[in-house]
A = this chain, B = another copy of it.
Amino acid sequence: MKVGLLGLGTVGTGVYEIINHQRGNYFASSKQEIVISKVMVRDIDKKRKVDVPAEYLTTDFKDIIDDEEIKVVICVMGGLEAEYNYMIQSMKRGKHVITANKAAVSEYMDVLYKTARENNVSFLYEASVGGGIPIITSLIQILRINQISEIKGILNGTTNFILSKMSDEGWDFEETLIKAQELGFAEADPTADIEGFDVSRKLSILSSMSFGFHIKDEDIKKRGIKEITSADIDTINDMGYVIKYLAHSKLEGNTYYATVEPVLLSTKDIMSNVNEEFNIISINGDIIGELQFYGKGAGKDATANAVVGDLMYIINADFRKQEIVLDQQLENGGIKEFSGKYYLRADSDNHEEFSHIIDTISDFSNNKKIIFNRSKVFVVTDEVRADQFEELVLELKSKNINLFYARIYS
């Protein structure tokens, strides 16, 4: 069987090595001829870490789409519209599609599934969420029997690496980001990671599958991590918590709630020990209970493994039916079903402002713990609803008060 590969970056290189260089169990022992016969790249002359015969390389998508021998197209490019169009065109020509492109799956899941069904091909995207963690396959299996009402996860390696290092080394955010960039754990433009777009796309994919309704990235409330300081980390650790960047969605009746934000976890929580580039995903099924899946959330080999795993389904003729159906009508309930005690740090130099901060918090929470320490006030509130706490924050921010806050989860 012949396969076309779109993209030869990190993941594409890993996929090429497993298939054409016969790395791994299956390809090393199989007599079934599977080969990537065409690879679309932007620049044919670029120096590469993997040895690909010149005649395999092309810059023209037509060379792949018009090749009748190519039965599967693997899309491991990072853009959106062009990649989406390549996938749609491939399916319309009867080719199975496998992708690691979370932006395209998140934005166009409904059309991609519809096109796959109409053309009787597979559309598989295990590598789009959680790197090597087999979460998409597991979710499909769990959904055969269970209703899933809640998803939680640490889904971004860059931000988890930054938060782990801030905790372990006592570094400030900016300093840690630079180190992460030097080490290749953060991109030159880190916006998608540190502002939550990467995480919310993954949460969008998992939530859409689980709740049966296409929830897009933009439907998810998100808040970044760059306000976190080493003073926050110190105080949070002293209180016995760990700060993590959490994706969380819930379904109640016909309303869904979804958020991506920094939160505080007890050191007794399994997720509190998920560090550096590792990811974890928790799924709550009505019959099976809670399941958690942990593994490498990124990286060449782990992600390539997920892509090739999808190819195995096509080879084995499993998953021919597209079981996921997005036929529910749900409403977006925002964040008002999330609630908990809150940690808040506010910076101030004068007593009048301090009094204003404390008064404002008192309007929302009765019992609270307050610590003053060098031009900073640290507060832990009583239980408050997330949407109400946002009002409090807006009020403080309107006075130009510099602050950071996070809900305490466990």
Does A291 sit within 8 A of B, measured CB to CB?
yes
Q: Do B25 and A144 have beta carbons less than 8 Å apart?
A: yes
Is A145 engaged at the interface, CB distance under 8 Å to the other chain? Answer: yes
Contacts of A293 in B (CB 8 A): 291-294
**With the chains together, A401 CA to B24 CA distance in Å?**
50
**In the complex, per-residue mask of A123-165: 1 if CB is within 8 Å of any chain B CB, else 0:** 0000000001110011001111111000000000000000000
Binds B, one of A266-274, A333-341, A388-396: A266-274
A25 to chain B: which residues have CB within 8 Å? Answer: 143-147
Whether A192 is near chain B, meaning CB under 8 Å from some CB there, is no
Contacts of A12 in B (CB 8 A): none
The interface size of chain A toward B, counting residues with CB under 8 Å, comes to 50
Residues of B within 8 Å of A144, CB to CB, are 25-26, 309, 312
Which stretch of A91-99, A195-203, A250-258, A316-324 is in the interface?
A316-324
Within 8 Å of chain B (Cβ to Cβ): is A358? no
Select one of B142, B309, B316, B319 contacting A145, CB under 8 A: B309
- Is A207 located at the chain interface by the 8 A CB criterion? no
Known contacts A132-B289, A138-B134, A295-B288; A312/B18 CB under 8 A? no
Indicate which residue in B26, B132, B274 contacts A291 across the interface (CB closer than 8 Å): B132
Contact A18 B145, CB 8 Å, known A287-B24, A293-B292, A301-B287: yes
- Is A308 engaged at the interface, CB distance under 8 Å to the other chain? yes
Say whether A302 faces chain B, with CB atoms less than 8 Å apart: yes
Contact of A138 among B138, B299, B308, B318 (CB under 8 A): B138
What residues of B have a CB within 8 angstroms of the CB of A294 in the complex?
A: 270, 290-294
Which residue from chain B places its CB closest to the CB of A148 in the assembled complex? B25
A residues contacting B by CB (< 8 A) are 18, 23-27, 132-134, 137-138, 141-147, 267-270, 272-274, 285-296, 299, 301-302, 304-306, 308-309, 312, 316, 318-319, 321
Known: A24-B145, A134-B138, A290-B294. 14 other contacts (CB 8 A): A23-B287, A24-B146, A24-B147, A25-B143, A133-B291, A137-B141, A269-B273, A270-B274, A273-B273, A285-B305, A287-B304, A288-B302, A288-B305, A292-B295
